Amino acid sequence: MATEKPIRVLHVLGTTNLGGAESRIMELYRHMDRKKVQFDFLVHTEQEGHYSAEIRALGGSIYSVPRFNGRNYAAYRRALVRFFEKHHDYAAIHGHMTSTASIYLPIAKKAGVPVTIAHARSAGVDKGIKGLVTKIIRLPLKNRADYLFTCSEEAGIAVYGKKAVRQGKVWTIPNAIDTQRFRFNSSVREKMLAELGLSGKFVVGHVGRFGFMKNHAYLIDVFYELCILRDDAALVLIGKGELEEAIRQKVQDLGIADKVHFLGTRANVEDYYQAFDYFVFPSLFEGLPGSVAEAQAAGLHCLVSDKVTREAALTDLAVYRSIDEPPVQWAREIQKNAKDAMNRRDMRQEIIDKGFDVAIQAGQMAEFYRTGKNPPGHCCGASRF
């Protein structure tokens, strides 16, 4: 008797590098029953990414189209038409790159892909003309996908509009994580502190790309004020990005270079959460940051920007403050709770109870992909409208 082949789902991303959306999809892929559902990836670069080798090892294929730059609409569209003429035997296309989803999802649908999904993962856009173009191209998206997914209500409103949310057209899908992977482990903590040369230090951590939205400049100001309050403070920054050099220069100018550790990207980011004593996240906008969920899963106290959705507060460990406040107020908040923050506790069950465990979500998403019905999560908007 012939073995039934798995259905295939196409995920559309910018790259296969380390990043918020990419990390969430890879967590889902690792936990998916790949005898039933397989993932392929359509990315907007020809460069190999951090996850490329793992994707192929798991049985997925990676395809590429040119990146849309606002001036190459015709060429971008032609590349997509050619791609879907050859690759239309998918059960679903899941578009995480919403900036151009209103272009590629209808093309996939016309080519024969039965289920099209847009997935909003950010509640803001870049500054300037790039952000304006993104907003304009997104306008018809709410009418060009079979399903509108979002990681938070705020991201859903930002991408699809209040009306779509109010009408119950938008589904909130938790940014699920591997709760076991991020669970607090005291032995790993001691190992990582020794490896980093930070034993005996009070370690503030941040995980995020060095870009406009993450607000690293404010984070450095907060840490500078914390250094005045305590001599043993250290800051660990994980991530890369176009603003890294500017932040390095700011650290030098403030005279705290010996206390700030730039680690770049790390595949084993879960181990670094163990070494942190406090997690600080002063973003200007977000969808629902996976790093804040990961930090809570690791038992960390989190000080989070008031611009971040309250849906990220999965436990009582997340506290919000305004980024309009002087940085010293954030530093005082950290210092006030520093002693309690040292008493880490196992938060895994609380995260699971909030629906953020990827092992559970993988089963739910597999069923949705196979049937095209009953996505996991819930319709957003009812509580607000």
Report the chain's C-alpha Rg in angstroms.
21
Residues 238 and 290: their CA atoms lie apart, in Å, by: 14
Q: How many residues does the chain have?
A: 385
Own/partner long-range contacts of 259-264 (Cβ < 8 Å, ≥24 apart): 259/223, 259/227, 259/233, 259/234, 259/235, 260/220, 260/223, 260/234, 260/235, 261/196, 261/198, 261/234, 261/235, 261/236, 261/237, 262/237, 263/236, 263/237, 263/238, 264/238, 264/239, 264/240
Summarize pLDDT for 158-203 with one digit per residue, the tens: 999 999 999 999 999 999 999 999 999 999 999 999 999 999 999 9
Mean pLDDT of the 286-304 span: 95
Give the Å distances, CA to CA, from 52 to 22, 45, 92, 246, 266.
11, 12, 21, 30, 15
List pLDDT tens digits, range 116-143. 999 999 877 677 777 777 788 888 999 9
Rounded mean pLDDT of 213-223?
Answer: 97
User: According to the model, what pLDDT value does residue 135 have?
Assistant: 82
Mean pLDDT, rounded, for 263-273: 95
Split at pLDDT 50, 70, 90, the class of 297 is very high
Q: Residue 3's pLDDT is what?
A: 66
Strand order in the sheet with 278-281: 260-262, 233-238, 202-207, 278-281, 301-305, 318-321
DSSP state, residue 176: -
Confidence of residue 107 (pLDDT cuts 50, 70, 90): very high
Q: How large a percentage of the chain has pLDDT more than 90?
A: 87
Phi, psi of 76 (to 5 degrees): -65, -45
Domains present along the chain, CATH in parentheses: 7-176+357-379 (3.40.50.2000), 179-349 (3.40.50.2000)
Lowest mean pLDDT among 157-171, 233-247, 322-336: 157-171
Pairing type for strands 301-305 and 318-321 reads: parallel
Helices 20-31 and 290-297: crossing angle in degrees, nearest 10, is 60
Q: Which two tokens stand for residue 24?
A: 């969430």
- Looking at residue 1, its pLDDT comes to 46
Work out the number of other CB atoms within 10 angstroms of the CB of residue 107.
20
DSSP string, 340-369: HHTS----HHHHHHTT-BHHHHHHHHHHHH
The pair of three-digit structure tokens given for residue 138, joined into one six-digit string:
């997104």
pLDDT, averaged across the chain: 94
Residue 384: which pLDDT band, with cuts at 50, 70 and 90? very low
pLDDT of residue 376: 84
Q: Is the pLDDT of residue 383 over 50?
A: no
- The residues facing 138 across adjacent strands are none
- Would you say 321 and 306 are in contact if contact means Cβ atoms under 8 Å apart? yes
CA distance 380 to 303: 25
Task: Determine how many CB atoms are found less than 10 A away from the CB of residue 319.
Answer: 13
**Percentage of residues in the chain with pLDDT exceeding 70?**
97
pLDDT above 80 for 146: yes
Q: Give the residue carrying structure tokens 């997509």.
A: 80
